[in-house]
Amino acid sequence: MSKYTISTISDELNEELTLKINNKTKPVGSLGKLETIAYKIGRIQQTVNPKLIQPTIAVFAGDHGIAKEGLVNPYPQEVTFQMVMNFISGGAAINVFANQNKISLKIIDAGVNYNFGNIEGLIDSKIDMGTSNYLQTKAMTTEQCEEGLKKGAQIVEEIYQEGCNVIGFGEMGIGNSSSAALLMSIICNIPIDDCVGNGTGVNEEQFQLKLKTLQQAIEKHSSLNQNDPFETLSTFGGFEIAQMCGGMLKAAQLGMLILVDGFISSAAILVAFQMNKQILDYALFTHHSNEQGHTKMLAYMNASPIINMDMRLGEGSGIAVAYPIIKAACTFLNEMASFDTAEVSNKV
């Protein structure tokens, strides 16, 4: 497991950070979660003047064998590649939010069931034309899963080399809320019924079919070792989830700030969390999804997202919308006056 080693964050600056936060011209604690975020970023960057440099959201897209059957999703599988094309041409939600908040986007083909050829703006990180159907076999072979972790790490390494120190993980993949639910059920040891939700919007009948399908998938792989995150990931994961997981581990190793999106992005860090709990020291959860399983998954990681806009879109949309709040945490820490310089009286 040495390849998943993550440095423990030093406590050396804790006191200085607290002092700087408390000496700002405001009642102690009155900026609430912004103070917690500022403290966390200061610790990650080991400075009392943290900066968010070249913020980037990496959107990993992949297809799922299960989705071909229409058993878990109301949208046809080709929506994955169509949405990738939409990302490339700038018309999706993540494009317009990232653009508004000056966040760079990287669109990654982690394993979409479509031959894109050589398209400008698309990073080719394809493992295969979609995973296998986990009702029949493991979604990924051991080699594919290893490749996924490795390719995700490489992509993050490249983004880091370009100068970025804060990276968000978004995704696109018809059927991937089912993968996320299965990963959650195994890793958190929570019945699949409590992990399945509406995804992008199934009706009641479709929901029952989705639930039944995922129950069958769990039964099919009942010999799975739930203490082995790699085995769980290869059994139920998607290529995009594997690459996100590998990318998140690499980001933590590089000391970057990791921004987690909604249900599927959280499932990726859940797998990474089982590999190395320290990853959470580097992560901020940005959005509490409307997907029903997210609440319990977050509780398992003791995570409390920044906003809750009842969104359930993925793509990294929650990250992009919440990003200015994260920036505000750095802004107040760097730019606000302190009680002494501003000549404001403190509490009597």
Exactly one of 78, 204, 315, 335 is catalytic; name it: 315
> In angstroms, how far is CA 264 from the centroid of its own chain?
7
State yes or no: residue 341 binds its own copies (CB under 8 A). Answer: yes
The reply to whether 157 belongs to the active site is: no
Minimum Å gap between C-beta 176 and its own copies is: 13
What's the CA gap between 104 and 17, in Å, rounded? 29
Choices 38-46, 115-123, 264-272, 333-341; region in contact with its own copies by CB under 8 A? 333-341
Minimum Å gap between C-beta 85 and its own copies is: 8
Choices 184-192, 208-216, 224-232, 338-346; region in contact with its own copies by CB under 8 A? 338-346
Query: Which residues touch 106 (CB under 8 Å, ≥6 apart)?
Result: 56, 57, 58, 59, 123, 155, 159
State yes or no: residue 119 binds its own copies (CB under 8 A). Answer: no
Site residues for its own copies, 65-104, by CB under 8 A, read: 70, 74-76, 78-79, 82-83, 85-86, 89, 91-93, 95-97, 99-101
Kindly tell me which of 121 and 191 has the beta carbon lying closer to its own copies.
121
Q: Would you state the structure tokens that stand for residue 321, as one six-digit string? A: 């919308």
Site residues for its own copies, 309-328, by CB under 8 A, read: 309-313, 317, 320-321, 323-325, 327-328
State yes or no: residue 24 binds its own copies (CB under 8 A). Answer: yes
Tell me the per-residue interface mask from 148 to 187 with its own copies, x by CB under 8 A, - otherwise: ----------------------------------------
Q: Long-range contact list for 136-140, CB < 8 A, 24+ apart?
A: 136/65, 136/220, 138/221, 138/234, 138/235, 139/64, 139/65, 139/179, 139/234, 139/235, 139/236, 139/237, 139/238, 140/233, 140/234, 140/235, 140/237, 140/239, 140/242
Minimum Å gap between C-beta 123 and its own copies is: 21
**Residues 80, 232, 137, CA angle at the centre, nearest 5°?**
70
Q: At what angle do helices 93-100 and 317-335 cross, to 10 degrees?
A: 10
> In angstroms, how far is CA 229 from the centroid of its own chain?
17
Kindly tell me which of 236 and 263 has the beta carbon lying closer to its own copies.
263
Q: Which of 92, 43, 83, 41 is nearest to 62 (CA)?
A: 83
Minimum Å gap between C-beta 246 and its own copies is: 27
What's the CA gap between 109 and 77, in Å, rounded? 15
Q: Would you state the structure tokens that stand for residue 232, as one six-digit string? A: 């769980």
Give residues in contact with its own copies (CB under 8 A).
24-34, 70, 74-76, 78-79, 82-83, 85-86, 89, 91-93, 95-97, 99-101, 200-201, 290, 306-313, 317, 320-321, 323-325, 327-328, 331-332, 335-337, 341-348
- Which residues are marked as active site? 315
